[in-house]
Amino acid sequence: MTARQAFRAHWTEVNGLPVYAQVSTPSPPGAQAVVLVHGLGLSSTYMMPTARELARDYRVLVPDLPGFGRSGKPESVADVPELADNLAAWMAAIGLEKAALLGNSFGCQIIVECAARHPERVARAILQGPTTPREERSWFWQFVRWRQNPNPNMGPIARRDYRAAGFGRVLKTFRYSLEHPLEDRLEQIQVPVLVVRGSRDPICRHGWAEEVAERLPRGRLVIIPGVHHTLVFTHPVELARVCRPFLAGEEPPASIPQLARPPQPTAEALEAPPLAQFDSASGLVRALGAYLNGQDFPLLGAYPSWMEPGWKAVGAAVNALPHPLKRQVYIWSGRSGAIAPERLGAVRAEQLAEWAVARYPRKPYPAAMIGSSNGALLHLGAALGIPWLPQTFLIPVRRDGIAPEEPSAELEWGKGPGARLLAANPDLILHHMHDPNQDYLMIQRMSYFRVKYRRLPQGYRRFLTETLAPGATLFVVECALRWPTVQVADRHIFQTGALGGLTPEEYLEGSSRLAEFLKRQGSDPARWEAPRPDGERPEAEWGFEPTLRQDLEQLARDHGYRLIHIVFDHPEDASPLVADFYRAWYRRRKLPANRLLVANFILMEPYWTLRTGSVPFWTVFNAEPSAETLERYLEASEAYDDICLMLFSHGVHSAGLASIERWRKILQRAGQWGAFIGVDEAAYPGDFATFARYRQSLKRTIPARYPLPAPLGLQDLDIFLDRAGNHYAVRWGNDRSPR
Amino acid sequence: MRRRIEDMVIVITGASSGIGRATALALAKQGGNIVVTARRQKALDELAEDCKALGGHALAIPVDVTDESAVQALARQAIETFGRVDVWINNAAVTLFGRFEETPAEDFRRVIETNLFGYVHGARAILPWFREQGQGILVNVSSGVGKTGQPFSCAYAISKFGIIGLSDCLRQELSGTPGIHVVTVLPAAIDTPIFQQGGNYMGREATPMEPIYDPEVVAEAIIEAILAPRREVIVGGSVRAALVAKQLAPGLFDRWAARVVEKKHFAMRHTPPNSGNLFRPLPEYASVHGGWRRPKPKPSFLPLAFAGVLGLAAGIGFAEVMRRS
């Protein structure tokens, strides 16, 4: 570091008045000239620490503006344009054609005015703590802010300068400074400008500094952390460091800190997205995520495995409760995960996506699936070792006071919360779903808000581009299941009923089965009145919303992915295909391949399915149509020696429920033996404990153990599909699905 | 005045994943002004975005720490952007698994180049600025194995031994400038993607040994050390237990390590010989977590129990000797 440059006093006559300046000497040969412009009522004195720092590399000149410090005093007090003219005149008088100007506080206003009025004089400008934020241009605010600015050691200097200028002049200049509309001049300034703000500057507020930098055609903002308003005096070294590259004309680094702070979701919202514990989409993601991490799937992934014995005890206790109490357990377990409707505005679509991708290991995959929730294709994902990203999520919302048999009231209730959620999330479509049959207990105290992405969320895009190489395959899972619905508002749909034991017509027209069920529950079926549907739309839980295709096609084009649509009409259409695919795989590995393991809803074990060499068959729920699908499959396929069956329990004997006898009959179709996995037959469908029981029951019931196989390649799937021809009700295609 | 993260300028090397990324995010949450660096531009840009979203100010500058002039430029750029640097966190590290005599020499050398010389370059780049400022904190992230050693990760372990030495020497040289602190951080097994990314000539996939701690725990410890500088910060009870065990019975400890590391540090899954991210960064694994710590760890009391048993034995032996004498 070189020795400090000396400064000498320099007097010039401007408009008949002597003007004092401190000028560095000797200056480095050919050095650029930098003029420092002092703040309100002050003089060159407090600018000297910065002047000395810069004098190593530049010719530095620090004038006392006419009326201030040691310079002569004009009779009238100059306003901002006059001070700017004086500055330009002084530069002309000392033969300074052009210079970089650096100002502090009010000095910035003079520099801006000078650059606007005399552009030929200003090469570039540095505005350190420009005044005054628009909303604080009052005596009161400025007094408050001035008091907030700690100025160690500045007191004596400031007092001497104020006395020299005269307090009348200082106050009048202060008034002029408040009247000066700095922002209106900024757009005229064509030279590069660096705005420097101390992060703790109480006078030049952050938003204001940002606005100044933004309005300048070539403006840039730099923040020096932890310092206040009078940087030129208190932190000259740091100020000089950020100024040097700017004065040297260097371009800023590619990613300069963007200082805008986007609106922040609450910390709570950031960490835990409001997802249901026992929902299809999140359950399936947990299951596949666990599998791809080499783990099994205890407690539906809702709790860590060490809690399994505890939950088993809790479950057994709940099962033993008298009926009304047990119903309350179901009701409150649903509500416990639900979020308050007021908080829906803080939910961000992006969190859900981030949550989902965080379940999967980040590593290269040959392919990925995205779209409809489907348990059969989840097993396909396990076989191929690829992840699946859901389009639909369930956000459970707390709600009281609406009986299950009042879907119209439910629709009304959902309008406000729905609007809040959608306003904050333009990329979501809300399917407000109300099923008084299977969800009779759950919807006592919560509402089902299912949301579907219509645009590809950033979290998914990032995950896919990081884990898929060009040439990789992106499967779009498209379940074409539709349901009669009501359009409540833009992107807001209401669906009465859900896939399971009843048809859409039975929900809408009311049916004897539904009426009987409601009566059994103590509800009045006469009050049943479903809102009139105005069209059919993708089913809330399983259906695919086709708007998403656009982004996926674009993504595939941009990154060279092979896009394959997997299209089917009913969620269970894929189950026979995946079961047979597994069977063929086992046969090739010379495994027996004669054990069927029936997964139900989210009760599944992809890991143990493979370890025990079982063929997975997924059923969507515990209702009669699912039992029928399974029966049809068993009818059509080569006999299985063993059949093992998991059964979800949702707490009520809903209409269309397949009875335990019917399931038992299915098990009797097994060539050798059939067994329930983790089902308390007497308690079904109120077997609360099954979710804590199924994993260990599976391990105990099926003694076979095989090593976990390496994932199959996509070509294995292609060969299988080629051989299968049109045997299965699933269409695979590169183009959009035929519809 | 109490030090506040939001008033500080902090440079972190190796910020694209693992502890570095976790630390950057934790600092961003407190409004810190962060310069993040690593080899992977894309991962850094995304990290800078994430930091901004959390309320911090971040600047992403891609640098390979083995290139000394690039590290010098990094320091200069940080200074020119924020006016100064308060904290420099040397964190970038790679690893190499395999038997000592079976790992290729160039891979071995590369680990030392990155882990040790990377830190040397960082220290040489920032200390002149620290001296000029009269203050600054240099954080060197070492590892528990930098005190205990570890079989089949020899290059990594000796680089971590070296870092502890570097810290000690610098601390001695800087004893005349009380404003400058050198902090060594000794983490236990942390859930980061280093195990997937490391070079591997072991024939088996590497997997961290329980107990595994979250990178956020290390980030938290680093922040504490920044706010109240200490010489050494141990993160994870398992490191403390291992140090005690090694102190009490070094021979037994080494034999135990040989057995347990081979069994527990490597999965029974085959992996072909590869140099991982040693020579070129891998685009994947730009995350804080390595995905090892799922769903919940079972706390392992093995090392603790080991130390306990040894302590007990020593106590009994001592009592015996006292009784006889």
The per-residue DSSP string of B199-217 comes to: EE-SSEEE-PPSSPB-HHH
Lowest mean pLDDT among A328-342, A417-431, B167-181: A328-342
Residue A261 has pLDDT above 70, yes or no: no
Find the mean pLDDT for residues A607-636. Answer: 93
The verdict on B324 touching A (C-beta cutoff 8 Å) is no
* A290 contacts in chain B (CB < 8 Å): 294-295
Find the mean pLDDT for residues B85-90. Answer: 96
Lowest mean pLDDT among A172-181, A246-255, B108-117: A246-255
Q: Which of B81, B197, B285, B296 to mutate to test the interface with A (most CBs of A within 10 A)?
A: B81
Amino acid A253: pLDDT: 42
Contact between chains at A362 and B291 (C-beta distance less than 8 A): yes
Residue B223 has pLDDT above 60, yes or no: yes
By the 10 Å C-beta count (0-12 exposed, 13-18 middle, 19+ buried), B259 is classed as: exposed
Which residues, including other chains, have CB under 8 Å from residue A548's CB and lie 6 or more apart?
A371, A391, A452, A453, A454, A455, A456
Distance CA A497, CA B269 (A): 48
Which residues, including other chains, have CB under 8 Å from residue A543's CB and lie 6 or more apart?
A372, A479, A480, A481, A482, A483, A537
Distance CA B184, CA B202 (A): 29
Q: Smallest Cβ distance to B283: which of A239, A304, A466?
A: A466
* A295 contacts in chain B (CB < 8 Å): 294-295
Orientation angle between helical segments A323-336 and A308-319, nearest 10 degrees: 140
User: Nearest 10 degrees: CA dihedral of B152, B104, B160, B191?
Assistant: -60
* B287 contacts in chain A (CB < 8 Å): 362
Residue in chain A nearest B55 by alpha carbon: A261
Residue A433 has pLDDT above 80, yes or no: yes
Question: Confidence band (pLDDT; 50, 70, 90) for A3?
Answer: very low
Orientation angle between helical segments A167-179 and A155-165, nearest 10 degrees: 100
The verdict on B295 touching A (C-beta cutoff 8 Å) is yes
Contact between chains at B83 and A242 (C-beta distance less than 8 A): yes
Helical spans, DSSP H, in A499-573? 504-509, 512-520, 549-559
Please tell me whether residue A95 adopts helix, strand or coil conformation: coil
**B98 contacts B22 by C-beta, under 8 angstroms:** no
Domain A6-247 listed as CATH 3.40.50.1820: yes
Residue A270 has pLDDT above 70, yes or no: no
Distance CA A292, CA A287 (A): 9
Question: Confidence band (pLDDT; 50, 70, 90) for A144?
Answer: confident
The verdict on B282 touching A (C-beta cutoff 8 Å) is no
Contact between chains at B295 and A241 (C-beta distance less than 8 A): no
Distance CA B46, CA B64 (A): 18
CATH number at residue B52: 3.40.50.720
* B283 contacts in chain A (CB < 8 Å): 466
The verdict on B61 touching A (C-beta cutoff 8 Å) is yes
Q: Which of A255, A296, A458 to mutate to test the interface with B (most CBs of B within 10 A)?
A: A255
- How close B297 comes to chain A (CA, Å)? 9
pLDDT in tens, B284-304: 888 888 888 765 545 556 666
- How close B192 comes to chain A (CA, Å)? 12
Amino acid A250: pLDDT: 61
Distance CA A179, CA A134 (A): 10
Mean pLDDT of chain B: 90
- How close A239 comes to chain B (CA, Å)? 6
Q: Which of A53, A197, A224 to mutate to test the interface with B (most CBs of B within 10 A)?
A: A224
Find the mean pLDDT for residues A497-504. Answer: 90
For chains A and B, count residue pairs whose Cβ atoms are closer than 8 Å. Answer: 101
pLDDT in tens, B139-156: 999 999 999 999 999 999
Residue A546 has pLDDT above 50, yes or no: yes
**A243 contacts A220 by C-beta, under 8 angstroms:** no
**B166 contacts B119 by C-beta, under 8 angstroms:** yes
Lowest mean pLDDT among A300-304, A437-441, A691-695, B205-209: A300-304
Chain A residues bordering chain B (beta-carbon distance below 8 Å):
1, 199-200, 222-227, 235, 237-239, 241-242, 244-245, 253, 255-262, 264, 290, 293, 295, 301, 304-306, 361-364, 462, 466-467
pLDDT in tens, B237-294: 899 999 999 999 999 999 999 888 888 888 888 888 899 999 988 888 888 888 887 6
DSSP run (H or E) holding A615? strand A615-619
Mean pLDDT of chain A: 88
Q: Smallest Cβ distance to A255: which of B7, B48, B53?
A: B48
- How close B253 comes to chain A (CA, Å)? 30
In A291-421, which ranges are E strands?
Answer: 365-371, 388-390, 392-398
The DSSP result for B36-63, as a single string, is EE-S-HHHHHHHHHHHHHHT-EEEE---
Question: Confidence band (pLDDT; 50, 70, 90) for A4?
Answer: low
pLDDT in tens, A78-134: 999 999 999 999 999 999 999 999 999 999 999 999 999 999 999 999 999 998 888
The residue segments making up the domain with residue B12 are 5-324
pLDDT in tens, A378-397: 999 999 999 999 999 999 99
Instruction: From A112, A580, A679, select the one nearest A380 (Cα to Cα).
Output: A580
Please determine, for the modelled complex, whether the ipTM score is greater than 0.85: no
Amino acid A658: pLDDT: 92
* B82 contacts in chain A (CB < 8 Å): 222-225, 238, 242
Contact between chains at B83 and A259 (C-beta distance less than 8 A): no
Domain extents in chain A: 6-247, 267-548, 572-724
- State the residue for tokens 């070129």: B280
Q: Smallest Cβ distance to A225: which of B7, B52, B53?
A: B7
How is residue A257 written in tokens? Answer: 């800190």
* A260 contacts in chain B (CB < 8 Å): 52
Domains identified in chain B, total number: 1
Find the mean pLDDT for residues A199-217. Answer: 91
By the 10 Å C-beta count (0-12 exposed, 13-18 middle, 19+ buried), B107 is classed as: buried
Q: Which of B2, B9, B57 to mutate to test the interface with A (most CBs of A within 10 A)?
A: B57
- State the residue for tokens 């531009």: B41
Q: Smallest Cβ distance to A224: which of B82, B291, B296?
A: B82
Orientation angle between helical segments A624-636 and A660-667, nearest 10 degrees: 10
Distance CA A448, CA A337 (A): 12
Distance CA A267, CA A643 (A): 47
Percent of chain B's residues with pLDDT above 90: 68
Active site residues of B: 156
**A400 contacts A297 by C-beta, under 8 angstroms:** no
Percent of chain B's residues with pLDDT above 70: 94
Q: Smallest Cβ distance to B298: which of A261, A306, A364?
A: A306
- How close A302 comes to chain B (CA, Å)? 10
**A574 contacts A730 by C-beta, under 8 angstroms:** yes
pTM score, whole prediction = 0.52
* A468 contacts in chain B (CB < 8 Å): none
Distance CA B247, CA B258 (A): 17
Question: Confidence band (pLDDT; 50, 70, 90) for B312?
Answer: confident
Residue in chain B nearest A258 by alpha carbon: B57
- How close A251 comes to chain B (CA, Å)? 12
Amino acid A266: pLDDT: 36
Contact between chains at B45 and A255 (C-beta distance less than 8 A): yes
Residue in chain A nearest B82 by alpha carbon: A224
* A255 contacts in chain B (CB < 8 Å): 45, 48, 59-60
The verdict on B3 touching A (C-beta cutoff 8 Å) is no
Higher per-residue confidence, B213 vs A511: B213
* B55 contacts in chain A (CB < 8 Å): 261, 264
- How close A238 comes to chain B (CA, Å)? 4
Orientation angle between helical segments A349-358 and A458-467, nearest 10 degrees: 30
Lowest mean pLDDT among A4-8, A421-425, B156-160: A4-8
**Sheet of A365-371, strand order:** A388-390, A365-371, A468-479, A562-568, A731-733
Contact between chains at B7 and A361 (C-beta distance less than 8 A): no
Q: Which of B10, B25, B80 to mutate to test the interface with A (most CBs of A within 10 A)?
A: B80
- How close B48 comes to chain A (CA, Å)? 8
**A495 contacts A434 by C-beta, under 8 angstroms:** yes
Instruction: From A95, A91, A79, select the one nearest A121 (Cα to Cα).
Output: A91
Distance CA A134, CA A141 (A): 11
Q: Which of A466, A695, A708 to mutate to test the interface with B (most CBs of B within 10 A)?
A: A466
* A50 contacts in chain B (CB < 8 Å): none
Q: Smallest Cβ distance to A226: which of B8, B133, B283?
A: B8
Contact between chains at A257 and B7 (C-beta distance less than 8 A): no
Higher per-residue confidence, A586 vs A739: A586
Contact between chains at A238 and B196 (C-beta distance less than 8 A): no
Helical spans, DSSP H, in chain B? 18-29, 41-54, 68-82, 105-112, 118-133, 145-148, 154-173, 194-197, 215-227, 237-248, 250-264, 302-324
